[in-house]
Amino acid sequence: MILLFCTALHVILVSGSSLSDLVSQTPAYMYKNLGEEAVISCSHSIKDYNQILWYKQMKDGQLQFLGYMLATQETPEPGLGVCVVWSPANRGQYSISVVCSSSLSDNVQQTPAYMYKNLGEEAVIRCSHSIENYDRILWYKQMKDRELQFLGYIFAGVKNPEPGLGH
């Protein structure tokens, strides 16, 4: 079974409010067998932010990059049979259709693949990639209700944690 997300990477930290409260995904999660099609819609109301990234969670807990939308530019990961669609009638609505296989995310390493921590306990996860011309890593944690909360990102080596969250 494969679990699909419109956003990625697990880290458990002290909770707080974040921009992820402005992201909506329908359905919140789904399980599909290899080869079955999955369609997920995602939207956000984050001011001055015009992209959505899509991931699927593999059986071992690792996340695989599927593609992204930047403004109205659809960019699916090559070789996956992924279709990313922007709906101008529903401004800010994005959908993805996925048939599961492999991708460039084979070039992404996360150690450990996943972890569970109690509220207030420190969590340290290391992530790196060898994807050419890509200079960012985005961090998320999976909440108890299985939704993902945005924690921040690293862009060109500069850390940008989400305000109000522990780092």
Residue 167 lies in a domain: no
Residue 140 lies in a domain: yes
| DSSP-derived secondary structure letter, 151 | E
Residue 44 lies in a domain: yes
Per-residue pLDDT of the chain (167 residues; tens, 9 = 90+): 444 444 433 333 333 445 667 777 777 777 777 667 777 777 777 777 777 777 877 777 777 888 887 777 777 777 676 766 665 544 554 444 443 333 445 677 777 766 777 777 787 877 777 777 777 787 777 766 667 777 888 888 888 888 877 65
Residue 76 lies in a domain: yes
Q: State the alpha helices, DSSP H only, in the chain.
A: none
Domain range enclosing 119: 2-161
Please indicate, yes or no, whether the overall pTM of this predicted structure exceeds 0.75: no
What's the Cα-to-Cα distance from 62 to each of 82, 87, 127, rounded to whole Å? Answer: 18, 29, 11
